Amino acid sequence: MIAITGATGQLGQLVIAELLKRVAASQIVAIVRNPAKADTLRQQGITVRAGDYDDPAALTAALQGVDKLLLISSSEVGKRAAQHRNVINAARTAGVQFIAYTSLLHADTSPLGLHVEHVDTEKQLAASGIPYALLRNGWYTENYLASAPPALEHGVFIGAAGDGKIASASRADYAAAAARVISEDGHAGKIYELAGDSAWTLSDLAAALSKHGGKPVTYQNLSEADFAAALKGVGLPAPIAEMLADSDTGASKGGLFDDSHTLSRLIGRPTTPLATSIERSL
């Protein structure tokens, strides 16, 4: 049995769609915080089990009979290390034989503040005694395209990444890699640095938005503090705004760049180009 945490999340749903191309639905366990939101998964023949990252007992119960686990990192920045510890401990108690974890690109050397909890989790995995693989995911293109509509409306895309190159890929690209690693043997001990085939700057993104959106968009580079303030000004919670601003600063230092093409080799096709993702989002 293969289990996926966060199975009703954006990445989790895409992983399951890919897994269904590889294994029978009866072999998949979807671990979700709210089973009431998982009816679509049940209708596909997938086993749905309740498992909150903050509830060790529920996680242990949810992982009974599971051989392989895809641990999708929690979305609660600041609580991830403790939550992931709960999952890893539950997996050990339940006898899980392999864990794949969605970490951060070059987590061990990353300038992004997000790296701290990912490195902590990687160390927990190493100490757990469970064979594991690290899926060190780069940035999702969708992270930036969420800002495309206001950029087209106001004619400016703001950020703090300077001329930093961002080798992003679509969520679906990363999901395909996760599905392969969790469904196949032979990945234990591997560290995969996953990123898009082509890198771009936020100026490139603004130009692409102009081309595909039919309206002129320019990129305005801000300081990290000013960018965080702007994000808070449009209603983002302070921790999220500060995390995004820090990540942009990290991108300016090369934290979101990788040219190894590991992701495209792993999924057996080129990663989704920026232009394609923009066309789909618009």
pLDDT digits (tens, 9 = 90+) for 121-157: 999 999 999 999 999 999 999 999 988 898 999 999 9
118 and 158 in a single domain? The answer is no
11 and 43 in a single domain? The answer is yes
pLDDT at 78 over 90: no
216 and 108 in a single domain? The answer is no
Confidence of residue 18 (pLDDT cuts 50, 70, 90): very high
pLDDT at 281: 86
107 and 246 in a single domain? The answer is no
249 and 147 in a single domain? The answer is yes
- Per-residue pLDDT, averaged over 2-29, amounts to 96
Domain that holds residue 151: 141-166+197-258+270-280
**241 located within any domain:** yes
CA distances from 202 to 12, 47, 158, 207, 263 (A): 27, 42, 9, 9, 22
**56 located within any domain:** yes
128 and 111 in a single domain? The answer is yes
pLDDT at 129: 96
pLDDT at 77 over 90: no
Share of the chain above pLDDT 90, in %: 89
* Residue at a domain's end among 178, 194, 210: 194
The CATH number of the domain holding residue 23 is 3.40.50.720
**264 located within any domain:** no
Confidence of residue 59 (pLDDT cuts 50, 70, 90): very high
89 and 219 in a single domain? The answer is no
What pairing do the DSSP bridges indicate for beta strands 98-104 and 218-221?
Answer: unpaired
pLDDT at 76 over 90: no
Question: Residues 34, 99: contact at Cβ < 8 Å?
Answer: no
**265 located within any domain:** no
**50 located within any domain:** yes
pLDDT at 210: 94
Q: CB neighbours (10 Å) of residue 177?
A: 26
pLDDT at 282 over 90: no
pLDDT digits (tens, 9 = 90+) for 102-119: 999 999 999 999 999 999
70 and 183 in a single domain? The answer is yes
The CATH number of the domain holding residue 240 is 3.90.25.10
Angle, helix 224-233 to helix 238-252, in steps of 10 degrees? 150
Confidence of residue 197 (pLDDT cuts 50, 70, 90): very high
- Per-residue pLDDT, averaged over 5-9, amounts to 94
Q: Which of 257, 49, 278 is nearest to 147 (CA)?
A: 278
149 and 62 in a single domain? The answer is no
Rounded Cα–Cα distance for residues 218 and 155 (Å): 6
pLDDT at 45: 95
201 and 102 in a single domain? The answer is no
pLDDT at 99: 98
Round the average pLDDT of the chain to a whole number and report it.
95
**263 located within any domain:** no
Q: How many domains are contained in the chain?
A: 2
**85 located within any domain:** yes
pLDDT at 180: 98
pLDDT at 241: 92
36 and 110 in a single domain? The answer is yes
Q: Compute the CA torsion angle 92, 72, 3, 185 (nearest 10 deg).
A: -80
- Per-residue pLDDT, averaged over 4-18, amounts to 96
**49 located within any domain:** yes
89 and 149 in a single domain? The answer is no
pLDDT digits (tens, 9 = 90+) for 202-254: 999 999 999 998 899 999 999 999 999 999 998 989 988 999 999 999 999 99
